[in-house]
Amino acid sequence: MTLAVSLFGEFALFRDGERVDLPSSKKTRALLAYLALNPRPHRRERLCDMFWDRTDDPRAALRWSLTKLRPLVNDPQNERLHADRERIIFQKDSILSVPGDTEDQPLAGLDLPDCAAFQAWLVAERDQLQKTSSDATHTAAPVLSPTASAQDIRFCRATDGTMLAYATSGDGPPLVKAANWLTHLEYDWSSPLDAQQIQRLSASNTLLRYDGRGNGLSDWNTDELSFETMVSDLESVIDAAALGRFPLLGLSQGAAVAIEYAARHPDRVSHLILHGGFASGWEISGSPEIREEREAVRMLLTRQWGADNPSFRHLISTNFIPGATEEEISWFSDFQRKTTSAANVSRFMKAFGQIDVRDRLSAIQAPTLILHSRGDQMVDMDAARELVSGIPGARFQSLDSDNHSLIDREPASLEFARAILEFLQTARD
């Protein structure tokens, strides 16, 4: 049995070429569209929050919808829609898209004004479909739909022998992402917060990511954890992957690592993309009040990182993603705990505070795109202005978000991926 969906005009499902009668419940139809267009594991709690948070029993409502959808998409040879006690996933590559009239509104008939998270996703998805169909009449548009089905994780040694984990995903020209706070190649791949961001960047490129020393799958026990080792580790990973010339992406403090690498290796970096970045850390440029505050946070996190009470980890999480739901905050808080140790958290924060690449900005030769969330509470807009004014010819684009780390469901996450892919495509053309 083959399945296909019509994305332009009224959302419709076809089975072996025949249109299927969808359930009368608009939320059930919207759930099918969301799962089919987001082929990754989804936690039941997250789906309940998206569609049924105002019902008396959202989990029962979700179960009811799944009973209506399973007979439509599953057959004895292929369980396309799979659910366990915690997660639900629509099997990737199990559904096709049929042609439609691109003048019609994409995904029509699915609006749920009372479901803010789903509606935000729907608006962003429609925007992406409309732009893709429009660009297709002029030139090949960047692919933004999540497509990478697997990542290839490997290991290499840093110059001091520290074991580093790196992963590649997707197919196409290389795109390297510098490590930032905090990463874990496996958890990031299935993250409810930004897994789609990884998938989007892997759609038109071979994306290379790695876990910096001290966290994720890389060695946690390392004698040195400094800005210099962060740059050196990036060099080691790139050499292990045998890359020639490539675009380099840096997020948060990873932007400073990317800047330093680009200044040292102008012949290797073809394009530089920075988001939420800064040129100098809190110990260098922060006011006395900020330095005192960050030092207090560093001490508290060191003492409370592994405790059962997650309140101090929540402190960091809410600053990173103030626009997140309570469930998203809890996931990110637990993710941080599982990603590194208390001792390394202290060392990371100390190293980040001592970053200073201000004198390296003028040395950047690669075309540069700087992105920054307008409401970023971790790194304010002045840091972005400093980067733009210091890097020759740098382009700037602000994003409509309060989050330092973008969340997949917000339109700014889609705009982030689109800006990067269009920047790279324009330069290549």
Question: In this structure, what token pair is assigned to residue 276?
Answer: 């939420």
pLDDT value of position 2: 79
- Tell me the fold of 3-136: Arc Repressor Mutant, subunit A (1.10.10)
Three-class secondary structure assignment of the chain:
CCEEEECECECEEEECCEEECCCCCHHHHHHHHHHHHCCCCEEHHHHHHHHCCCCCCHHHHHHHHHHHHHHHHCECCECCEEECCCEEEECCCCCEEECCCCCCCECECCCCCCCHHHHHHHHHHHHHHHHHHHHHCCCCCCCCCCCCCCEEEEEEECCCCCEEEEEEECCCCEEEECCCCCCCHHHHHCCCCCHHHHHHHHHCCEEEEEECCCCCCCCCCCCCCCHHHHHHHHHHHHHHCCCCCEEEEEECHHHHHHHHHHHHCCCCEEEEEEECCCCECHHHHCCHHHHHHHHHHHHHHHHHCCCCCCHHHHHHHHHHCCCCCHHHHHHHHHHHHHHCCHHHHHHHHHHHHCCECHHHHHHCCCCEEEEEECCCCCCCHHHHHHHHHHCCCCEEEEECCCCCCCCCCCHHHHHHHHHHHHHHHHHHC
User: What pLDDT does 6 receive?
Assistant: 86
pLDDT of residue 133: 63
Q: What is the pLDDT of residue 137?
A: 44
Q: Which residue has the higher pLDDT, 104 or 62?
A: 62
Instruction: Tell me: pLDDT of 351 over 60.
Output: yes
Rounded to an integer, the average pLDDT of 39-68 is 85
- Which pLDDT score is estimated for 287? 84
CA angle 316, 321, 327 (to 5 degrees): 90
Edge-to-edge strands, sheet with 81-83? 42-43, 87-90, 81-83
pLDDT at 93: 60
- Describe the crossing of helices 326-339 and 44-51 by its angle, rounded to 10 degrees: 160
Question: Using alpha carbons only, how large is the chain's radius of gyration in Å?
Answer: 22
Q: What would the two tokens of residue 263 be?
A: 């200044």
Q: What order do you get walking across the sheet with 206-211 strand by strand? A: 151-157, 163-169, 206-211, 174-177, 246-251, 269-275, 368-373, 395-399
Hey, what amino acid is at 45?
E
Closest by alpha carbon to 247, among 278, 207, 188? 207
Q: With contact defined as beta carbons under 8 Å apart, do 281 and 257 qualify?
A: no
| pLDDT tops 60 at residue 70 | yes
Selection from 6, 34, 39, 32 nearest residue 147 by Cα: 39
Q: What is the pLDDT of residues 387-397, one digit of tens each?
A: 999 999 999 99
Give the per-residue pLDDT at 302: 72
Sign of CA dihedral 291, 292, 293, 298: positive
Task: Judge: domain 151-428, CATH 3.30.360.10.
Answer: no
Q: Locate the domains of the chain by residue range.
A: 3-136, 151-428
**In degrees rounded to 5, what are phi and psi of residue 206?**
-90, 100
Q: Is the pLDDT of residue 376 over 60?
A: yes
Question: Model confidence over 220-267: pLDDT tens digits?
Answer: 999 999 999 999 999 999 999 999 999 999 999 999 999 999 999 999
d(CA 148, CA 233): 25
- Which sign, positive or negative, has the C-alpha torsion 337, 340, 345, 351? negative
Instruction: Please say whether the beta carbons of 80 and 13 come within 8 A.
Output: no
Highest mean pLDDT: which range of 44-58, 116-130, 322-336: 322-336
The pair of structure tokens assigned to 9 is 């005009």
Phi, psi for 106 (deg, rounded to 5): -65, 145
162, 236 contact by CB (below 8 A) = no
Q: What is the C-alpha end-to-end distance of the chain, expressed in Å?
A: 41
Q: Which two tokens stand for residue 343?
A: 């001792």
- Indicate the pLDDT class of residue 140, thresholds 50, 70 and 90: very low
Please give the average per-residue pLDDT across 80-90, as a whole number. 85
What is d(CA 43, CA 89) in angstroms, rounded to the nearest whole number?
A: 9
